[in-house]
Amino acid sequence: MKNFKKLILVLTAIAMVSCGEKKEKEQVKLTDQPAETSKMATETETSTKDENVVEITITGNDQMQYSMAEMKVKAGQTVRITLKHVGKLDKNVMGHNWVLLTKGTDMAAFAQTALEAKATDYVPAGSTQVIAHTKLLSGGESDTIEFVAPAAGTYDYLCSFPGHYALMKGKFIVE
C-alpha cells in the first residue's frame, strides 16, 4: 500500500511536469483525498450499524427486471433503500423507480393513474397511496431513500414507469 502510494506520488510528479502548476496542485489533492475519505466512510458505516436501521439495495436493469421480488423488515425500523439502475438506457425509454404502496392499494389501478403523471416521473403528486418512492432513474444512476417501516403486514412495491409493473413488482413484508 505504501509503495503504491509512492508510485502514485511519482506518477503525479511526472504529470505535474507535463501539465503546468495549477493542474499539479489539483492532482496532489486528488491523490491525497481518497485514502482519508474511504477511512471516514468505513467509520461512519460502523457507527450507523444500528439494529433499528436496515439497508437494502435493489437493482433494475434494461430487461425490465428488479433483482428482488421480496423484502422483509420489522415494523418501526428505519428502512434505507437504494435503487440502482444497472442498465444503460435512458429514463425516457427504460426509466425505473421504486414505489411502495399503502396496504390494500390496487396495483393495476395505481399504475393506470401513474401513467398520467409523466410530469412528476409517474408518481401522482400528493398521492395518499404512496408510502415512499425513489426518483425515476436512467441507466447508471442510483437513488437512496429512507423511511420508517409501516405497521406489520404485506405491502406491494412496483416500478411505476408505464408498463413496467407487470414484471417489476414485489412484496414488502413488515414483521
Q: Which is nearer to Cu ion, 133 or 164 (CB)?
A: 164
HSE of 169, CA atoms in CB hemisphere, 13 A: 16
| Binders in 150-169 for Cu ion, by CB under 5 A | 159, 161, 164, 168
Write down the least CB distance from residue 157 to Cu ion, Å. Answer: 12
Write down the least CB distance from residue 105 to Cu ion, Å. Answer: 18
How far apart are the two ends of the chain, measured CA to CA in Å?
45
Of 28-36, 93-101, 110-118, 142-150: span binding Cu ion (CB under 5 A): 93-101
Write down the least CB distance from residue 94 to Cu ion, Å. Answer: 7
CA of residue 159 relative to chain centroid, distance: 13
- Can residue 133 be called a binding residue for Cu ion (CB under 5 A)? no
DSSP 80-140: EEEEEE-S-S-HHHH-B--EEEPTT--HHHHHHHHHT-GGGTTS-TT-TTEEEE---B-TT
Q: Which is nearer to Cu ion, 114 or 131 (CB)?
A: 114
Name the residues that contact Cu ion, by CB under 5 A. Answer: 96, 159, 161, 164, 168
